[in-house]
Amino acid sequence: MAEPIVQTSLFAYPTYDAMLEALKAENRNPVYSRGQNPTVEVLERKLAALEQGESCKCFGSGMAAVSAVFLGLLEAGDHILFVNHTYGPSVKLAKHLERFGISHDLLLDLEPGDVERAMRPNTKLVWLENPGTMLFRTLDLAAIADVARSHGVLTCLDNSWASPLYQKPIIHGVDIVVHSATKYIGGHSDVVAGAVISTARRMEKIFFGSYMLNGGILAPFDAWLLLRGLRTMPVRMQRHEADALRVAEYLRSRPDVRAVYHPAFGEPSASLTGYSGLFSFELASGGFDEVRRFINGLRRFRIGVSWGGIESLVISPNRGNNLAHLDEQRMPHALVRLSIGLEGADVLIEDIGSSLAAIAS
Ligand SMILES: *Cc1c(COP(=O)(O)O)cnc(C)c1O
């Protein structure tokens, strides 16, 4: 019933001729586990099917997947346009690539037509998150994909938030999907992994142009953990969604909360068919000190980075020493991010209530 873990670095062939034949398509035949491994391949087929894409490659982290898209598809002189608030390290990687002649811009405030105006003659890639990171603003994927395509520009969407269950960007015209499988696909905070899904032709370019050469591969055992995660993803996502909505509604009802940033309360997004468990809110008053006291007052939420696992997590973008960065990113100082796990909404609401009461006293 469960897939075997093919824990081997290489695959021996009965004859030299058979090996030479296999080497002709190293992206399809198991030759060496830095290329193709049968356990990883099962996961790749499932993720491609879930995203309704032709082909998938899995990586040792979400960032390895992001790197593979940048390094596999871009050249010196190209420009990346980041639309919406996007995962910080993806933008940092683009900054790093400036030394290789790749430039980028950030587009945070979106009015219709902004994407087209922000594109440059050398824009090669539009990088999207829907909803955006930290403030969870939504986008019209089909409209952006149309504009990009009419200029011959590729679109790539980081779909970690929605998971392949609640958003399938490819059917809305997006060219490439990346995942941090560390989040909802793994779902248990015990594996770091990533994936890229696109057409077979583009994935072949990524396979030979960056995957095999950069070496950021997914190990067979980690692929097995993700296959196991996939088996419960639908029920986990339903509970994350329902409980996060209950906690978000509760926060919205509190006078000591200024705003709740959950995509259910923002512009409707045609491509989202459900919500995951990650959102943020803003305390009505205060800054770093109140954020710190609120986080320290929680008992059920664990304090930590990342998200998407079964244990609820809390963090803030405010680290007490980065106000200039928050202002530049147009992020409120009293912002708190919650990842709602599977403990049940009642205990989480009670926990939040007591911590809010404690900082007010
Ligand atoms: C975590 C994350 C990544 C990076 O993934 P890793 O698995 O940590 O390398 C990329 N994008 C988003 C939206 C993420 O949350």
Q: Which atom of ligand 1 is nearest to the CA of 86?
A: 13
Query: Which residues does residue 106 pair with via DSSP β-bridges, in sequence order?
Result: 82
pLDDT at residue 182, as a whole number: 98
Cα(185) to centroid(ligand 1), Å: 12
CA distances to 121, 140, 257, 348, 358 from 105, rounded to whole Å, are: 13, 19, 33, 39, 42
Does the pLDDT value for residue 112 go beyond 90? no
d(CA 234, CA 222): 20
d(CA 346, CA 109): 36
Of the candidates 237, 230, 216, the residue with the CA atom closest to the CA atom of residue 48: 230
- The whole-angstrom distance between residue 266's C-alpha and the CA centroid of its chain comes to 20
Select the more confidently predicted residue: 109 or 172: 172
Q: Which atom of ligand 1 is nearest to the CA of 194?
A: 7
Average pLDDT of the residues in 194-207:
98
pLDDT at residue 278, as a whole number: 98
Dmax over CA atoms of the chain, in Å, equals 78
Banded model confidence at residue 244, pLDDT cuts 50, 70, 90? very high
Token pair for 131 = 């909803």
Banded model confidence at residue 286, pLDDT cuts 50, 70, 90? confident
Measured in residues, the chain has a length of 361
Residues 6+ apart with CB under 8 A from 46: 227, 230
In degrees and rounded to multiples of 5, residue 90 shows phi and psi of -65, -40
Does the pLDDT value for residue 267 go beyond 90? no
What stretch of H or E contains 114?
helix 114-118
d(CA 320, CA 344): 31
pLDDT at residue 85, as a whole number: 95
pLDDT at residue 110, as a whole number: 80
Banded model confidence at residue 361, pLDDT cuts 50, 70, 90? confident
Catalytic residue annotation: 34, 87, 158, 183
Strands 194-198 and 176-180, how do they pair?
A: antiparallel
CA distances to 65, 96, 98, 116, 171 from 101, rounded to whole Å, are: 21, 10, 5, 23, 32
- Percent of the chain whose predicted confidence (pLDDT) is above 70: 100
Average pLDDT of the residues in 55-74:
98
Average pLDDT of the residues in 93-122:
93
pLDDT at residue 104, as a whole number: 98
For the Cβ of 62 lying below 6 angstroms from any atom of ligand 1, the answer is: yes
CA distances to 19, 20, 32, 237 from 13, rounded to whole Å, are: 6, 9, 11, 42
pLDDT at residue 360, as a whole number: 87
What stretch of H or E contains 176?
strand 176-180
Average pLDDT of the residues in 154-163:
98
Q: Within 10 Å of residue 332's Cβ, how many Cβ atoms?
A: 20
Q: Ligand 1 pocket: which of 61, 63, 69, 83 to mutate (most atoms <8 Å of CB)?
A: 63
Burial label for 277, CB within 10 Å (0-12, 13-18, 19+), is buried
- The whole-angstrom distance between residue 10's C-alpha and the CA centroid of its chain comes to 31
pLDDT at residue 239, as a whole number: 98
Does the pLDDT value for residue 22 go beyond 90? yes
Of the candidates 132, 129, 124, the residue with the CA atom closest to the CA atom of residue 169: 129
Banded model confidence at residue 322, pLDDT cuts 50, 70, 90? very high
d(CA 287, CA 294): 11
Q: Ligand 1 pocket: which of 134, 139, 183 to mutate (most atoms <8 Å of CB)?
A: 183
pLDDT at residue 33, as a whole number: 94
For the Cβ of 308 lying below 6 angstroms from any atom of ligand 1, the answer is: no
Cα(91) to centroid(ligand 1), Å: 12
Mean pLDDT across the chain: 97
Q: Ligand 1 pocket: which of 136, 159, 182 to mutate (most atoms <8 Å of CB)?
A: 182
Domains 16-229 and 233-360 share a fold: no
Q: Is the pTM of this model over 0.85?
A: yes
d(CA 280, CA 71): 32
Of the options 3.60.70.12, 1.10.645.10, 3.40.640.10, 3.30.70.260, the CATH number for the domain spanning 16-229:
3.40.640.10
pLDDT at residue 295, as a whole number: 98
CATH topology (fold) of 233-360: Aspartate Aminotransferase, domain 1 (3.90.1150)
3-state secondary structure of 202: helix
Q: Are 222 and 182 in contact (CB under 8 A)?
A: no
Q: Identify the sign of the CA torsion 265, 266, 270, 272.
A: negative
Q: Where are the domains of the chain?
A: 16-229, 233-360
pLDDT at residue 109, as a whole number: 76
Average pLDDT of the residues in 52-79:
98
pLDDT at residue 102, as a whole number: 98
Average pLDDT of the residues in 50-69:
98
Cis bond before residue 131 (omega within 30° of 0):
yes
For the Cβ of 136 lying below 6 angstroms from any atom of ligand 1, the answer is: no
Q: Which atom of ligand 1 is nearest to the CA of 160?
A: 13
